[in-house]
Chain A
């Protein structure tokens, strides 16, 4: 099936999300849409999938113009989509999820799940998926959930499969498996539209690359183009993909975690017997696939987890069991993983957000009153220092772009004298320019002599920033390895393989650095 988009424009109020986009997906081709977060890729695909009505433009299937009133029409035309956030019902079984909307019945509207079960088995056998049709979706790992989504599309005979940021939630190994699946799909004649901002994957899988920037197609690229070229096309200016940083000069280990265990409300150990140190002037990156205890670890340090035991000591003083305020006053700076939920109060002004942790003391307060002029002056100083692009410090923080919001959080957290700096997913959803800025500030704080803990699920970021890397798997520490450990070894460790074995396994295939080797194999840079 040949799919063509002609002059697609989609506006939300005054915001032009897509501006006359043309796209041609040839049959049996893997077509990559490359662009930064917020470039308009997802909007375009939602238009194609019938979730949004295009403001202007036309969709053609095999040269025939079509109008999709809803996802049902798009599916009927042979378009399947795997959304970035899976559209699966957690409390349903796999077979129920696959059947939904496409049910076979046996009279009187009775569900006939056996037919669907058989179809799932056919597809699973064909592509080597190992999926139990009667498992509850909420019990499945994300990689398997993604396969359920692919099965959902294939059961409906999708000829074009759209994958929206499919690797965001996967381990490197799962990513490789996904790329294999895409190759098989292509061999079977299914076209794939692969949306991503990760250059490595895009280069590995695509036949054609279309680059989108600020809602416009800025050109197409060949998969053989260099990563730097692709990144420049995506960002619109020359980019330096590697961070200049001096080697760490670790001092005394002032932050010590001993046998930290955090349990959730079911008694499950979400953080299980963790022990590690961070020295002054050192970045320890916590790597791992999302949901392996990273969030709980940072929250336990900050005092947000009610069921934590063990010991967390900063400068020899115990932090566990103290209130959040006491922890902050001990000199802990914290950038939470979700800035909009935990980092900022969206409706408050930039100036107010800048003092959320110090509103009650001099120089920002006197008695029960705030001192607005001091607060505003402080904010003015910080927005120029942290390059926050905003018309005014009185603007609501919720109106800023993600990158600028994150800069506000950083400005707040880094403008106190710190004894420990924790940043969770510090660059999630940011554009390349903001990522560069955030990374520089993190390294600056390190060079200032602060112990730094970075939690990131992005291997690129981990390799970029880390002096040492601690890998978490199911709440346990798989191992702590040097910052120049190869990508393959880290990938295996993220799946729970201990560093020694991972090193051997990775070594069988390529002469990649084992965790004990000091040499950097260069894999850290896209």
Chain B
């Protein structure tokens, strides 16, 4: 074969630069993140689709059972972990192993704090019970509301009576149901959605710790830190999901 008609084989790292300069692992990570947006999109769709039905069937109202202040702290923790993560990458870029490893460990610890917070949140919900109050309006329409048992014991039906139109019949279902996966559509959708986010955080923590161990053994340098970067991308994405969930579930 004549020289000009053929192309000499070039090492992959150079030959592959035809379109992108980035490491292929980063491309793969972004593709995976793109896929994950639809994973969480589907879960969130189920939550939003069932939100009105949950209320119509007398399930607990998210705002009444969720502790927004506590979750705001969790959101802050996760955001802070994103900052530490990006500082860790800045550290390895500047060839400072100390900053890299320190911030990385801080990120993993903040992630653990978040998981701990979520465990507390779930446990609180499991221990809480709610009852369904059925309000029959004078015009015959039936409205159902899920009310926390301890609030019912504390305040009685005053608030509900005040809000309902005069002449409504109010019935309280005596069965106290804990807030779990199978007692309401809220439980069904909320625990699966936030639980899967929590699982992602847990996987992220394990990943960060394995990067940390490898970093301790000098596995990364300013010219070779893609391993840190893709773990960081994953971590930021998990944080991003929480930004959305926090607003959509807890605040709205």
- A and B: interacting chains: no
On B, residues with C-beta under 8 Å from A are none
